[in-house]
């Protein structure tokens, strides 16, 4: 086997005067067919055409006696050997990712990518296989400020080429990361709010949240209580201007500067609050949208309408495509028979942070519960933190107060707080969308 040749052999037939060998790119041997005659039981065809991407080759051997085909072999198949990977080069580096490109490779359908922390590929090696044949690889699963080596080999069906010479690169220092929070605090419908709110505010400060949204946080009267209790603290939180109708956003002014904000009606007595911020360190602008959709299992149609209004309105507000966060109580999730909010968020290009985190913490705990101390563990989330593709998700955690396997008394809300650590570096550092991959040989991988 080579990129343009194959040697075939077969068991002979006593009736044969000669053999006719047909090779083509379809099983019926009607497309791009090459035909050769042989007097012996083996044959080398050395003028086959290489292709990019590679294609499966089919062949059949006919037995010729007295000038006629008297019998034929079954149709079998093979793949030509792929060519060599040449001119492998690192073309872009980010804090957690890299993009590499290489010249087109004959007969390549996929590529194996091996990444490690040393040149001999023995320290923390990871191997993945691309799902397609693009001569480029992008990953975002790397550690900031770290040196790596990377090499590539081509794959054509069951034929594996040689690994390229490795290239070395160092990921950049992370420029900006922060922790997002979201919590339905049940201020007016649940008793004892001021005492519960003090515990919740202290909990958010202790967990070093940088920006968070509250749902059911009170109207004009109770909202003043919310503002007083959740402002300040060790994180020095400030409530964003423009929030109302029981949805408020708090942030750390040391990290962010608010540019604008307001709220709007989405239907069914529901509102959404939004705020526009700039990250002081990098100048990146983003929007935080605080969400609380219609409740009850049978109200998916209402939630669907509310989502249409919210997404449409925010698209007009954010008309330059800045990064966005949607966080709050969506009263829906993939555990429901119908999950219109999730479907619409994914269709709009957003991802649930729990699904992007490598090692989510407390992901088995339901985000909604009662004021009982029993911890429900079926992994059902009605609360979510969704982010646009601009963000890198570094971690996800459901913030829970648990003692001895039960919720710590007093139980402070009928929802748990969610948090997600995200990065938003300067836009010129972006490497692009990660290449679609699968693992090789069943190995686990952190590359994505």
How confident is the model at residue 346, as a pLDDT? 97
Residue pointed to by tokens 């053999």: 19
Whole-angstrom distance, CA of residue 336 vs CA of residue 351 = 18
**Banded pLDDT at 168 (limits 50, 70, 90):** very high
Q: What is the pLDDT of residue 428?
A: 67
Q: Are 29 and 46 in contact (CB under 8 A)?
A: no
pLDDT value of position 443 = 45
Contacts for 233 with CB less than 8 Å, ≥ 6 apart: 201, 202, 204, 205
If one counts every other C-beta atom within 10 angstroms of the C-beta of residue 235, the result is: 22
The per-residue pLDDT for range 216-255, each reduced to its tens digit, is 999 878 999 999 999 999 999 999 999 888 999 999 999 9
Give kind and range of the element (H or E) at residue 134.
Answer: none
Considering only CA atoms, which of 81, 64, 77, 78 is closest in space to residue 28? 77
Give the pLDDT band of residue 105 (cuts 50, 70, 90).
Answer: very high
Q: Which residues pair with 20 in a beta bridge?
A: 37, 62
Q: What SS3 state is found at 10?
A: coil
CA distance 138 to 110: 14
How, if at all, do strands 76-79 and 89-93 pair?
A: unpaired
pLDDT for residue 357 is more than 90: yes
Average pLDDT, the chain: 94
CB 197 within 8 A of CB 184: no
Q: Does residue 138 sit in helix, strand or coil?
A: strand
The sheet with strand 98-101 has its strands ordered as 89-93, 98-101, 136-139
Residue range 268-302, pLDDT digits in tens: 999 999 999 999 999 999 999 999 999 998 999 99
SS3 187: coil
Cβ atoms of 382 and 346 within 8 Å: the answer is no
pLDDT value at residue 447 = 64
Q: Answer for the pair 397, 359: CB distance below 8 angstroms, yes or no.
A: no
75 CB neighbour count, 10 Å cutoff = 15
Question: What is the predicted pLDDT for the residue at 146?
Answer: 97
Q: How far apart are CA 117 and CA 170, in angstroms?
A: 10
Close Cβ partners of 20 (under 8 Å, ≥ 6 residues apart): 35, 36, 37, 38, 61, 62, 64, 69
Rounded Cα distance between 145 and 137, Å, is 20
Burial (0-12, 13-18, 19+ Cβ within 10 Å), 416: buried
DSSP letter string, 77-108? EEEPPP------EEEEE-SS-EEEE----TT-
Rg (CA), the chain: 30
Question: What is the torsional sign of CA 130, 132, 133, 135?
Answer: negative
DSSP H helices in 254-328: 300-317
At residue 270, the pLDDT reads 95
Return the number of other C-beta atoms located less than 10 Å from residue 222's C-beta.
17
Angle at 33 between CA 29 and CA 34, to 5 degrees: 130
Residue 189 burial class via C-beta count within 10 angstroms: exposed 0-12, middle 13-18, buried 19 and up: exposed
**pLDDT (0 to 100) of residue 429:** 65
Band of pLDDT at residue 441, cut at 50, 70 and 90: low
DSSP-based three-state secondary structure for 111: strand
Give the integer Cα–Cα distance in Å for 344 and 250: 26
């Amino acid at each position: 086997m080579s990129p343009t040749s194959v040697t075939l052999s077969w068991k002979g037939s006593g009736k044969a005067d000669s053999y006719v060998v047909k090779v083509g790119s379809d099983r019926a041997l009607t497309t791009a067919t090459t035909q050769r005659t042989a007097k012996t039981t083996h044959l080398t065809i050395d003028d086959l055409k290489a292709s990019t991407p590679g294609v499966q080759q089919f062949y059949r051997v006919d037995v010729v006696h007295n000038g006629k085909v008297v019998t034929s072999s079954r149709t079998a198949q093979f793949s030509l050997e792929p060519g060599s990977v040449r001119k492998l080069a690192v073309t872009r580096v980010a804090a957690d990712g890299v993009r590499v490109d290489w010249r087109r490779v004959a007969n390549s359908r996929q590529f194996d990518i091996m990444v490690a922390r040393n040149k001999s590929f023995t320290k923390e090696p990871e191997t993945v296989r691309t799902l397609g044949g693009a001569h480029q690889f992008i990953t975002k699963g790397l550690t900031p400020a770290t040196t790596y080596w990377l090499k590539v080999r081509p794959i054509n069906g069951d034929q594996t080429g040689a690994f390229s010479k490795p290239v070395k690169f160092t990921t950049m220092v992370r420029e900006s990361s922060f922790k997002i929070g979201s919590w339905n605090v049940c201020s007016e419908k649940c008793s004892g709010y001021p005492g519960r709110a003090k515990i919740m505010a202290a909990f958010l400060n202790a967990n070093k949240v940088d920006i968070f949204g509250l749902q059911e946080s009170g109207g004009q009267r109770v909202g003043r209580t919310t503002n007083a209790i959740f402002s300040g603290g060790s994180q020095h939180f400030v409530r964003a201007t423009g929030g109302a109708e029981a949805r408020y956003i708090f942030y750390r002014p040391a990290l962010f500067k608010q540019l604008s904000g307001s709220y709007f009606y989405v239907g069914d007595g529901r509102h959404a609050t939004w705020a526009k911020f700039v990250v002081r360190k990098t100048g990146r602008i983003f929007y935080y949208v605080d969400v609380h959709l219609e409740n009850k299992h049978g109200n998916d149609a209402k939630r669907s309408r509310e989502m249409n209004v919210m997404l449409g309105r925010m698209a007009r507000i954010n008309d330059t495509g800045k990064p966005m966060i949607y966080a709050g109580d969506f009263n829906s999730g993939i555990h429901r028979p119908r999950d219109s909010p999730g479907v619409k968020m994914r269709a709009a290009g957003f991802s649930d942070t729990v699904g992007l985190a490598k090692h989510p913490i407390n992901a088995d705990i339901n985000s909604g519960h009662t004021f009982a101390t029993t911890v429900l563990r079926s992994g059902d989330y009605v609360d979510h933190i969704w982010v646009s593709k601009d963000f890198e998700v570094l971690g996800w955690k459901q913030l829970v107060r648990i003692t001895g396997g039960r919720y710590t008394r007093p139980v402070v809300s009928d929802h748990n707080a969610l948090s997600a650590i995200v990065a938003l570096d300067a836009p010129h550092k972006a490497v692009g969308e990660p290449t679609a991959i699968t693992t090789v040989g069943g190995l686990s991988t952190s590359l994505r």
